[in-house]
Amino acid sequence: MVETATDRKLEGTVKTGDRNQFRGQKGLQDLVLDANLCTGCGACIGLCPYFRSYRGKTVALFPCTLMTGRCFDFCPKVEVDLDNLSEKFFGRSYDGNPLGSYQTVMISRADEKVGSAAFQAGGTVSAIIYFALKKGYLDGAVLTDRDGLLPIPRFVTNPEDVFTCVSSKYSAAPTLSALNQGIRDGFTQIGVVATPCQVLSTALMRSNPLDDKAFVDPTGLIIGLFCTWALDFRPFEKFVSDRVDIKNITKVDIPPPPSDMMEIYLRGGQKIEIPLEEIRPLVLEGCSYCADMTAEFSDISVGVLEGQPDMNTLIIRTERGRKIVNEAQKEGYLVISDMPAKNLEHLQSAAGNKKRRAVIKAKQEGILSAKILEKITRRSHVISD
Ligand SMILES: Cc1cc2nc3c(=O)[nH]c(=O)nc-3n(C[C@H](O)[C@H](O)[C@H](O)COP(=O)(O)OP(=O)(O)OC[C@H]3O[C@@H](n4cnc5c(N)ncnc54)[C@H](O)[C@@H]3O)c2cc1C
Ligand code: SF4
Ligand code: SF4
C-alpha cells in the first residue's frame, strides 16, 4: 500500500478515536479493521469502490485519503453517541436499560396466512416482512440468505422471496451492503432485518451524520434480531466441513438455555450436535465488546423464547413497529400473546449480563469504547465499582 503525505500527517491522531478529527477510510482501518473489531456488518461496503467483503472478511482494496467518509460514520465499531441516537429515535437520552427503549414485550409466531417454512423459531420475522411487502408498506427488504454456510445479503421485492432467506446464519454477514444497494437503486421504504450491530449502523445512517440537506430516511421498518455473538466465517466453515458435508445442511440452530449445543440439521432428517464450548473459540473478537443483545435501535426486535421453540420473543419499540405488528395480527399473519413474567426476567438478566461482559472486556483491553460502555452500565446499575 502506497503511503501518502496525508496518511503520514494523520498518524497519531486517528488513535484518539475522536470522530471529529479523522473520519475516513484510514480511521476505519486503524481503529476497527487492524484492531480486529470489525464484525463484517457490510455498512461500509458498496458506498465506494474501495471496500469489499470476501468470505466473511471486510477488506480495503485501495487507500482513500479523504478526511471524512460514510464508511467511518456508519461503522458501529467506532465510538457511537448513544445519547444522540436515543434522542433522535426515542425522544430521550440513553438510559442504559438492558433492553433499551421499548413500549411492550410480547410473544408471537407466524399465523396461517404465512404458511410453513424452515423458520428459525416462530417465523415472526418472516411473517412481518412478508405482510409488509404484500401490503406495500415496504418497497423492498434487506435479508440474509446463504450459500452453504456463507451468509449472502439479499435485497428482495417479491414477498415470496422472503421464504428463501428464513433461519439464522450464525456467522457475521455483510447484510447492510444490500441496504446500500437498495438505496442506490432508489428504494424509499426499505425493510431491514439485522443483528444489533447492523441495526446500530442503520441508526447511524438514518441519523444523517454528514448533514446532507437532501437526506430522507430510506427505511420503512427495522427488525432487529437478538444476538449474543456471531462466528468468524472461515474457521467456522472449516470446523463444520471437517464433520459434515456442508452441501447437505438444511438448518443450523442454537436452542436457548439450558441446551448448550449447536444443532446442525442435514438432508434426510439427520441431526448432529456440537457442544457450544467447542464453538465459542470461533466467535469474532469484536463481539466480545458488544453491549447490545436485543437490537435497541430497531422498530421491533425478535428473538427466540426460552422453553417454546415454536415461538418468538417480540419487543415493540416504536409507533411504526407497533402499527405494522397490530395490522399483521388483525389480518391473520401473526399470532401474539402476553410475555410470561419469568421469561421477561430472564431476558432482562441475559441482556444486562451481555452489557456487563462487554464493559469488563473493554476495560481490560483499554479500548476506546470502554468509556462509553462504562457510562451505559453505570446508569443501568449493571455493574458497580
Ligand atoms: C448471529 C445470530 C445470533 C443470534 N443470537 C440469538 C440469541 O442469542 N438469542 C436469541 O433469542 N436469538 C438469537 N438470534 C435470533 C434468532 O436466531 C432468530 O433470528 C429470531 O428469533 C427470529 O426467529 P424467526 O423464526 O422469526 O426467524 P425467521 O422467520 O426464520 O427469519 C430469520 C431472519 O433472520 C435473518 N438473518 C439470518 N441470519 C442473519 C445474519 N447473520 N445477519 C442478519 N440477518 C440474518 C434472515 O434474513 C431472516 O429474515 C440470533 C440470530 C443471529 C443471526
Ligand atoms: S464493522 Fe461494519 S462498517 Fe465497520 S469496518 Fe466492519 S464491515 Fe465496515
Ligand atoms: S454480538 Fe454484537 S457485534 Fe457480534 S454479531 Fe452480534 S450484534 Fe454484532
What residue ranges line ligand 2, CB within 6 angstroms? 28, 32-33, 38-44, 58, 74-77
Interval between CA 235 and ligand 3 midpoint (Å) = 17
- List, for residues 267-313, the tens digit of each pLDDT value: 999 999 999 999 999 999 999 989 999 999 999 999 999 999 999 99
Please give the pLDDT value at position 377. Answer: 54
169 lines ligand 1 (CB under 6 A): yes
Q: Of all protein residues, whose CA lies closest to atom 1 belonging to ligand 2?
A: 38
Nearest-angstrom CA–CA distance, 40 and 37: 9
Nearest-angstrom CA–CA distance, 341 and 339: 6
Cα Rg, the chain, nearest whole Å: 20
Across the chain, what does the average pLDDT equal? 89
Interval between CA 286 and ligand 3 midpoint (Å) = 7
Counting ligands in written order, the one closest to the CA of 123 is 1
Instruction: Please compute, for residue 185, the number of CA atoms within 13 A of its CA located in the half-sphere on the CB side.
Output: 17
Interval between CA 151 and ligand 1 midpoint (Å) = 12
- Nearest one of 210, 134, 192, 156 to 320, comparing CA atoms: 192
Interval between CA 229 and ligand 3 midpoint (Å) = 5
Nearest-angstrom CA–CA distance, 385 and 381: 10
Ligand 3, residues 169, 279, 284: which to mutate, most atoms within 8 A of Cβ? 284
343 lines ligand 1 (CB under 6 A): no
Nearest-angstrom CA–CA distance, 246 and 264: 10
Could you check whether 5-81 and 233-282 share the same CATH topology?
no
Atom of ligand 2 nearest to the CA of 78: 4
Q: Of all protein residues, whose CA lies closest to atom 5 belonging to ligand 2?
A: 38
194 lines ligand 1 (CB under 6 A): yes
Ligand 2, residues 32, 50, 59, 64: which to mutate, most atoms within 8 A of Cβ? 32
Q: Of all protein residues, whose CA lies closest to atom 5 belonging to ligand 3?
A: 230
Give the mean pLDDT of 77-106. 92
**Are the C-beta atoms of residues 103 and 299 closer than 8 Å to each other?**
no
The residues facing 154 across adjacent strands are 143
Length of the chain as a residue count: 385
Is the pLDDT reported for residue 7 higher than 50?
no
Please give the pLDDT value at position 95. Answer: 85
Give percent of the chain with pLDDT exceeding 70: 90
Nearest-angstrom CA–CA distance, 204 and 276: 33
Counting ligands in written order, the one closest to the CA of 199 is 3
**Segments in 173-275 forming alpha helices (H):** 176-184, 196-206, 233-241
Give the mean pLDDT of 323-344. 98
- List, for residues 54-73, the tens digit of each pLDDT value: 999 999 999 998 988 999 99
- List, for residues 125-182, the tens digit of each pLDDT value: 999 999 999 999 999 999 999 999 999 999 999 999 999 999 999 998 999 999 999 9
Please give the pLDDT value at position 81. Answer: 87
**Are the C-beta atoms of residues 231 and 283 closer than 8 Å to each other?**
yes
The set of residues, in sequence order, having a beta carbon less than 8 Å from that of 320 and lying 6+ positions away, is 220, 221, 299
Write the DSSP string, 30-75.
IIIITTT------TTTTSSSSEEEETTEEEESS----SB-HHHHT-
Give percent of the chain with pLDDT exceeding 90: 76
Give the mean pLDDT of 34-49. 94
Largest CA distance in the chain: 63
Q: State the pTM of this model.
A: 0.93
Q: Indicate the residue type of 244.
A: V
Domain ranges of the chain: 5-81, 83-231+285-340, 233-282
**Are the C-beta atoms of residues 89 and 203 closer than 8 Å to each other?**
yes
β-strand 190-194 against 150-156: which pairing, if any?
A: unpaired
Please give the pLDDT value at position 360. Answer: 84
196 lines ligand 3 (CB under 6 A): yes
| CA-based torsion, 82, 22, 357, 232: positive or negative | positive
Atom of ligand 3 nearest to the CA of 196: 7
| CA-based torsion, 74, 80, 81, 83: positive or negative | positive
287 lines ligand 1 (CB under 6 A): no
Q: Model confidence at 102, in pLDDT bands (50, 70, 90)?
A: very high
Counting ligands in written order, the one closest to the CA of 333 is 1
Please give the pLDDT value at position 11. Answer: 27
Please give the pLDDT value at position 350. Answer: 95
| CA-based torsion, 125, 78, 38, 28: positive or negative | positive
Q: What is the CATH topology of the domain spanning 233-282?
A: Nuclear Transport Factor 2; Chain: A, (3.10.450)
Please give the pLDDT value at position 21. Answer: 60
Q: Model confidence at 383, in pLDDT bands (50, 70, 90)?
A: very low
Architecture of domain 5-81: 2-Layer Sandwich (3.30)
Is the pLDDT reported for residue 80 higher than 90?
no
173 lines ligand 1 (CB under 6 A): yes
Listed ranges 38-42, 91-95, 253-257; the one with the highest mean pLDDT: 38-42
